[in-house]
Structures are given as structure tokens and as C-alpha cells.
Amino acid sequence: MSGPHDLFARYTFGHPERAAAELRAVLPAHIVSEVDWASLRREPVSVVDPELRETESDLLFTARLRTGQPLLLYVLLEHQSSVDSWMALRMLRYVVRQVERWRQEHPRSTRLPVIIPLVMYHGADGVWTAPRRVEDLFELPDGEEARAQWRALVPRFEYLLDDLTAEREVALRARSGPPLARLAWLVLRYGRTGELARKLPEWVALFAQVYADTGGAEHLVVVIRYLLWVGKDAAVHAAAKRVLNSVLDEQRAEELMGSWAEEMIERGVQKGLVRGRQEGRAEGLQQGLSEAILRILTARGVSVEEGARQRILTCTDMATLDRWFDRALNATTLSDVLDERAQ
């Protein structure tokens, strides 16, 4: 199942115009000038290994150079916390898969298209430190001259890297592109840091630009939902709600937040029902209902301290969970839900 990082990144950069903004920001200037960006198209194919689907996703685009030659641009969206030291080998494997697919689809072609691989990283544990070249993964004999001779015999391959965690905010703001792409770079950069709640109010103007753009209402919903998914504390949710109220009128903001809460309720309950059926016991439904209660409270801006959170998550009495669930729908404080005197 796709996670929030995967969904947000693919929604944002799966669109050719926004993908072009990302690629233009990273590719060397001479390559940018040679690409016919109007020809950029997304291909409906993925080569990411299934076991890695929760930590990354990929996008493949085709384009043409101004000379007419075909070009493939392979983008891996990396969002796992720890840096993968074997990324160069994985990227080489993914590119080879693309080459094999190309040969199957173009059996008469005597040449391969250029494939440019790019990793966009926004992990939570600091900057990217893994080697970007496959040749750096081989253990070569000591000595500068010997290493140079041996290096010429091993596979050579290098991927481009857009390490958002290493970029300063001013640099990301200076990038050109559609409003959603510019906001997404910032959100991905700070989404899992302790700075997010403080940063959000500074981006109100950019949020407004996203809303004013074509399809802006949908874009805004996607961004806010992602922020509510990744925000780990009440401060982030409160800041997101303030930003929303600054961009939209109060009624529209409440409608958006309300629709998100309803969706989280449905996801939580359905997840619990499915788990309960699969496991053949009630724990799945109980956990799903507990998670739905917490999601509703978060969406309504109700702060839940850790003790109360654990009380809700560990509750096994369905009657109590049902009661808390009903109260959460209209709660303004935590006591509205957990206080047994609450009506």
C-alpha cells in the first residue's frame, strides 16, 4: 500500500510540468538547453522492487532532444530515514531494466536512448552520504596508480542527486516552477523536522499561489492532507489549520478539514475491519477504531498528550471505543472525549 510520502511525491512530480521543474533544477545547464521540454511525457511503468515500495517510488519520463533523439529520465523518489549505501547499485539495476524494456519495445533499434537517473531524497536523518558512483562500491587494490588501473575495468555508472535535506530554504524558494512544485520542495524538506510548525506561517503567500493556480483547490487539499499525515505534534496541525484559514474563508477551510477527517475515519474503520477479518479476531477492529479516534481529534485541532494517546490505543473495550468515537466527532477538548461525565 502506498504511504503518504509516496502519494504526495508522485502526485506532485508525476505531472510533466512539475517534473520538468525538478529536472531543470538538477540537470546540468547544457542538458537543460538541449531538451525539448514540451515533449516530456510520463510513462506508466515502475521498476522499483516490491519490497522497497514503502520507502521509495519511481517515475519514468520520455522526452526528445532538440535534435530529435529520444531521451529517458528516470526519477527515484527516496524518502526512507536511513541513507542506503548501495543506492548506486540499485539505480544501475533499475536503469538496466529500463534499457531491457526499451529493447523489447524497439526491436529494430540499433542504439539505446540516453537514460538520465536522478534520486530525489528527503529523508529524516540528515544529508545523503552514500556513493553516487558504482565504481566506488568496489574494493580495489591500494595505491593511487593501481586503483586507477583497476577502476578502468569495473562498471562505470553515476546517478544525479537532489538532496533536499542539504538545501537551504532560500535556495529552494529561488527555484523556478509551478507553485505546487515550489511548495512541495519546502514541505518535503521540512516535513519531518522540528522546524515545520515554525516554517508553515512563512509560506502563506506560496499556499495562496497554489490555491490560485489551475486545479488549486485540489492541490491545496493534497498538501494539507500530507502535512496532517506527517506532522508529529499538535503544533504542526495547528499551524496547518491557521495557514488554511489564511488562504480560504472559514467555511471552506472547515469543509476541507471536515472532509479529511471523514476520510481518516473511513480509512481507520475499514483498516480495522479488514485486519479483523484477516486475523479472525476483534483486535483489528479495535486498533482501527482507536486510530480513527486519534485522527479525528487531530483533524479537529485537539491536542492529545502521550498518556491519553496510549490510553486510546490500548483500550480493548469496544463499547468504550464506540463512545469515544461518537464524542470525538464534535469534541473541542480531550476531556470532551475521555471524561466519563461528558455527555
Q: Which residue has the higher pLDDT, 49 or 184?
A: 184
Domain ranges (residues) in the chain: 4-166, 259-338
Q: How confident is the model at residue 269 (pLDDT cuts 50, 70, 90)?
A: very low
Contact 192, 124 (CB under 8 A): yes
CA 27 from chain centre, in angstroms, equals 21
Residue 88: which of 146, 153, 155, 21 has the closest Cα? 155
Residue 266, Cβ density class (10 Å: 0-12 exposed, 13-18 middle, ≥19 buried): exposed
Residue entry with cell 500530507: 226
Contact 74, 98 (CB under 8 A): yes
Task: Out of 127-136, 155-164, 291-300, 334-343, pick the least confident.
Answer: 334-343
Task: Out of 16-30, 138-152, 196-210, 325-339, pick the least confident.
Answer: 325-339
Q: Is the pLDDT of residue 9 over 50?
A: yes
Task: Please tell me the predicted confidence (pLDDT) of residue 281.
Answer: 43
Pairwise CA distance, residues 230 & 157, whole Å: 34
Pairwise CA distance, residues 205 & 247, whole Å: 8
Q: Which residue has the higher pLDDT, 254 or 95?
A: 95
Q: How confident is the model at residue 57 (pLDDT cuts 50, 70, 90)?
A: confident
Task: Out of 75-84, 180-189, 268-277, pick the least confident.
Answer: 268-277
Question: Which residues make beta-bridge pairs with 169?
Answer: none
CA 282 from chain centre, in angstroms, equals 32
Q: Which residue has the higher pLDDT, 78 or 26?
A: 26
**Winning range, highest mean pLDDT, from 1-10, 193-202, 263-272:** 193-202
The mean predicted confidence, pLDDT, of the chain is 83
Mean of pLDDT values over 267-276: 47
Indicate the pTM of the whole model: 0.72
Task: Please tell me the predicted confidence (pLDDT) of residue 168.
Answer: 92
Contact 288, 268 (CB under 8 A): yes
Helix (H), strand (E) at residue 116: strand 114-121
Q: Which three cell numbers stand for residue 130?
A: 552514500
For the segment 221-237, what is each residue's pLDDT rounded down to a tens digit? 888 888 877 876 778 88
